[in-house]
């Protein structure tokens, strides 16, 4: 039955921009996971030289900026999120000279570089922590971390009941009997952010990278730096979920905001619209909005969107809620479907809804890819900034059958099989059809790539109409040609059949069919781009199952 795309049913508004907006308000930002993007020296591990050699690919893809996961000197207990020296590059990734060259080359191509800063914790090999251990209980250097005496007659019990996000107690006892806090792995001791030396050190680290030309920072665990006074027990005995949104005495404490205000003042001293992006898992989008008040950060990841099921009503609710939450603070909304911590969205959508973000099954791969493509095109039609994770433009699935012996995710070893499947989204990218690591490098690859990945490679998909890579390229080109697409913070919802979303923005319309069956609609305009074979006959469009189409009106 033909349905009508009639006048707006509801309108979400905030005003349009009067003058050119800063670049980041509608930027498409591509996450590079350095270990797995491109290997320049053939040692099986991605590196900065490899990334630099592939910048033209990213330029051609059409992104505005590149966010690099950590490349700092690190023992790699958590793939570089355990930093031993914030001003040095790990030899496996290259040198500071390589970082400088990478930033310069990116700028030469008109790409911005956002680096990952990890302020909640460092590595247990960081000089400060080693000194703190050496100097013993009561030393001033221990005050830079959270050292405590244990409970029980001999202090043999942890100081409180907090559990590590990677599983097991959040406390580890050292030889002299004291315990130290680590919200993540024992190799990642938490800094004490009450301490002025910690605050000063990070302000200096920010300047170091800003001076080198970094266009901004993705702030790791931005919600974790300040702990509730007295480090109170949680008491509920609830098992923590990796990257959960629960209210906890070590997450989303109000004190974190003063830190970001002081960081913002530093960024504002620099030219070129440098940005701060919060990785902040909070209980609500309203709490997330607090991180992007005008004098704090510029953007925060929208994890509520990432965790939404493939369901029109749920998507619409989250889209409206996300836009509404950012409105009072004037920050752009961000959108993200995949990153290095969650099962890739092609595999999430291939599985039944509600299984979370750490999956072990391939599910229905064809269905997953169809939905993933449709979800991406919907995301790129929304106002604000969108984050892409390397390889999603190839439609890569998660690798769900990695042998245990190659896994490196610390939570795999600590969470007793409940979590810890993040290696599956970190498998190196296939660039070519053939070759020892499908063009990732001249050597092997630190995680094995599935055999079928040659056919998903950049080479195999380039120039192939309808391939996922060409879909991303086309979508990003349309977004560039229609600057109104990512701008503002307004979507206009049109009436649409159940399970279908129809949203209008500035002479442009996006229809998404989340149902498993084709839907007929009055063709709302001229077809611009679609994720599946949309047909238009005598003014009637047929939108196949799980398909998004863009139209001009």
Residue numbers at the binding site for ligand GLC (CB under 6 A): 78, 81, 118, 184, 220-221, 279, 340-341
Strand intervals (E) in 69-138: 72-73, 85-89, 112-117
Of 74 and 511, nearer to ligand GLC (C-beta) is 74
Q: Is 459 a catalytic residue?
A: no
Q: How far is the CB of 322 from ligand GLC (least distance, A)?
A: 20
Active site residue 220: yes
With b meaning 16 or more CB within 10 Å and e meaning fewer, what string describes 290-314?
bbbbeebbbbbbbbbbbebebebee
- Which tokens hold the place of 426? 């970190």
CA 251, distance to chain mean position in Å, is: 18
Q: Which of 154, 211, 254, 269 is catalytic?
A: 269
- Please, which residues bridge with residue 521 across strands? 541
Give 124 or 220: the residue with its C-beta nearer to ligand GLC: 220
Nearer to ligand GLC, 144 or 370 (CB): 144
Give me the DSSP letters along 239-257: PPPTT-----TTSS-TTHH
In sequence order, which residues have a C-beta less than 8 Å from that of residue 258 and are 6 or more positions away? none
Smallest gap from Cβ 226 to ligand GLC, in A, equals 16
Nearer to ligand GLC, 76 or 449 (CB): 76
Q: How many whole angstroms separate alpha carbon 262 and alpha carbon 424?
A: 37
Q: Which is nearer to ligand GLC, 12 or 307 (CB)?
A: 307
Cα–Cα distance measured from residue 132 to residue 140, given in angstroms and rounded to the nearest whole number: 8
Rounded CA Rg of the chain: 23
Supply the minimum distance, in Å, between the C-beta of residue 18 and ligand GLC: 36
In terms of Cβ atoms closer than 10 Å to its own Cβ (0-12, 13-18, 19+), residue 212 is middle
Minimum distance from CB of 116 to ligand GLC (Å)?
8
* Residue of 26, 39, 98, 220 with catalytic role: 220
Please tell me the distance from the alpha carbon of residue 233 to that of residue 160, in angstroms, as a whole number: 5
Query: Residue 120 Cβ, how far from ligand GLC at the closest point, in Å?
Result: 7
Q: Cβ closer to ligand GLC: 26 or 409?
A: 409
Find tokens 């100097």 and name the residue. 135
10 beta partners = 493
∠ CA 348-352-358 to the nearest 5 degrees? 40
Which residues 6+ apart lie within 8 Å of 18 measured at CB?
A: none
Query: In whole angstroms, how close is the CB of 293 to ligand GLC at the nearest point?
Result: 22
CB of 163 or CB of 341, closer to ligand GLC: 341
Which residue has tokens 């300040």? 226
**CA 214, CA 218: separation in Å to the nearest integer?**
11
The catalytic residues are 220, 269
């Amino acid at each position: 039955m033909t349905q009508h795309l009639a006048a707006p049913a509801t309108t979400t508004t905030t005003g349009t921009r009067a003058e050119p907006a800063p670049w980041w308000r509608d930027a498409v930002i591509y996450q590079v996971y350095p270990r797995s993007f491109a290997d320049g020296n053939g040692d099986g591990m991605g590196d900065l030289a490899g990334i630099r050699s592939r910048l033209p690919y990213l330029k051609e893809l059409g992104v505005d900026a590149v966010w690099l996961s950590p490349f700092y000197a690190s023992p790699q207990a958590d793939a570089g999120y355990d930093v031993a020296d914030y001003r040095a590059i790990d030899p496996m990734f290259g040198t500071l000279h390589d970082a400088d060259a990478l930033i310069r080359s990116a700028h030469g191509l008109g790409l911005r570089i956002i680096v990952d800063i990890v302020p909640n914790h460092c590595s247990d090999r960081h000089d400060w922590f080693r000194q703190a251990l050496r100097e013993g209980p009561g030393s001033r250097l221990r005050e830079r971390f959270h050292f405590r005496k244990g409970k029980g007659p001999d202090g043999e019990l942890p100081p409180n009941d907090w559990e590590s996000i990677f599983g097991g107690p959040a406390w580890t006892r050292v030889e002299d009997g004291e315990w130290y806090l680590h919200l993540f792995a024992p190799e990642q001791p938490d800094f004490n952010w009450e301490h002025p030396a910690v605050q000063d050190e990070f302000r200096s680290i920010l300047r170091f990278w800003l001076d080198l030309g970094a266009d901004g920072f993705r702030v790791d665990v931005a919600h974790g730096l300040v702990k509730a006074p007295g480090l109170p027990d949680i008491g509920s005995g609830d098992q923590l979920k990796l990257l959960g949104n629960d209210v906890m005495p070590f997450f989303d404490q109000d004190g974190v905001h003063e830190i970001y205000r002081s960081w913002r003042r530093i960024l504002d001293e620099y030219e070129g619209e440098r940005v701060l992006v919060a990785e902040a898992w909070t209980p609500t989008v309203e709490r997330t909005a607090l991180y992007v008040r005008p004098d704090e950060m510029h953007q925060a990841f929208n994890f509520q969107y990432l965790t939404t099921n493939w369901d029109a009503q749920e998507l619409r609710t989250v889209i409206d809620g996300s836009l509404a939450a950012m409105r009072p603070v004037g920050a752009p909304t961000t959108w993200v479907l995949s990153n290095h911590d969650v099962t890739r969205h092609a595999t999430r959508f291939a599985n039944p809804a509600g299984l979370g973000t750490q999956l072990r099954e391939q599910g229905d791969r064809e269905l997953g890819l169809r939905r993933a493509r449709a979800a991406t095109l919907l995301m790129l039609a929304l106002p604000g900034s969108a984050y892409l994770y390397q390889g999603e433009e190839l439609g890569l699935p998660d690798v769900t059958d990695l042998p245990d012996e190659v896994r490196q995710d610390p939570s795999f070893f600590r969470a007793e099989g409940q979590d810890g499947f993040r290696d599956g989204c970190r498998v190196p990218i296939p660039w070519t059809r053939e070759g020892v690591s499908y063009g990732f490098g001249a050597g092997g690859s630190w995680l094995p790539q599935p055999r079928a990945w040659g056919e998903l490679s950049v080479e195999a998909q380039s120039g192939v109409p309808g391939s996922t890579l060409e879909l991303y390229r086309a979508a990003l080109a349309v977004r560039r040609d229609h600057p109104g697409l990512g701008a503002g913070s307004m979507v206009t919802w049109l009436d649409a059949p159940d399970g279908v979303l129809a949203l209008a923005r500035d002479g442009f319309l996006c229809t998404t069919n989340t149902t498993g069956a084709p839907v007929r609609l009055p063709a709302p305009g001229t077809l611009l781009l679609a994720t599946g074979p949309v047909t238009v006959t005598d003014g009637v469009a047929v939108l196949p199952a799980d398909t998004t189409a863009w139209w001009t009106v």
